[in-house]
Amino acid sequence: MKKLIFISITLFIAGSIVLSFKADDAKPVSEPVVIKDSIASVKAFKQVYTVLMSARCMNCHPSGNIPLQGDDNHLHTMSPQRGVDGKGVYAMKCSNCHQSTNTPGLHTPPGNPNWHLPPADMKMVFQGRTPRQLAKQLINPRQNGHKDLKKLIAHADDGLVLSGWNPGEGRTLPPMSHAAFKKAWITWLTTGAYAPAK
């Protein structure tokens, strides 16, 4: 009887192990497929670059610790500072003026519930970067907020990224639609994320 119970338990455990392996094998692969094509990749990044160099992106990705403002990328009025978390310092926080939605009126503060610059330890500077420099920075996890390929693709739909196409009255939109930008962004990434020569 003891031998029969031992065999039954052994068979149950072995069956559970086999089933668990089969369950793992059945999981869909959710990683993006990369098919390397340097020509398509560089061509797509050149489109992406025009958006990242527009005021809607560059104003929040300055070379210094003061955000930029306006279509001409001038230093932000009142000189707010980045701060450790990218949300300002002391009583001068981004959210004091940048509310969860755009403030009505011409050239009033645009809004987003999570308005901020990149944090001090991961500044993600766009200003002054060549296409090659920016492409290399964007795919480097030590410089891009620890994002892998999957997270970089998802970032195209981040709320703060999307706000670039809803900047409030009196501001120029990026040079292409969000849908076209997202398509170019994903194409760049899934064809090898090649950096232009210059």
* 197: in domain: no
* 14: in domain: no
pLDDT in tens, 86-115: 999 999 999 999 999 999 999 999 999 999
* 170: in domain: yes
List Cα–Cα distances, 90 to 23, 85, 118, 123, 124, in angstroms.
52, 12, 17, 19, 23
pLDDT in tens, 126-172: 999 999 999 999 999 999 999 999 999 999 999 999 999 999 999 99
Residue (of 164, 131, 134) closest to 43 by Cα position: 131
Q: How far apart are CA 58 and CA 1, in angstroms?
A: 76
pLDDT band at 179 (very low <50, low <70, confident <90, very high): very high
* 80: in domain: yes
* 18: in domain: no
The arithmetic mean of pLDDT across residues 172-189, rounded, is: 98
Give the percent of the chain with pLDDT over 90.
83
Q: What is the number of structural domains in the chain? A: 1
> Hey, which residues does 88 pair with through a beta bridge?
93
Q: Is the pLDDT of residue 70 over 60?
A: yes
What confidence score (pLDDT) does residue 92 get?
94
Q: What angle do CA 135, 145, 196 make, to 5 degrees?
A: 5
* 1: in domain: no
What are the b/e assignments for 159-176, b being 16+ CB within 10 Å?
eebebbeebbeebeebeb
Work out the number of other CB atoms within 10 angstroms of the CB of residue 80.
Answer: 21
* 25: in domain: no
What confidence score (pLDDT) does residue 32 get?
86
Domain that holds residue 47: 34-190
The arithmetic mean of pLDDT across residues 64-75, rounded, is: 96
> Whats the size of the chain, residue-wise?
198
* 53: in domain: yes
Q: Is the pLDDT of residue 3 over 60?
A: no
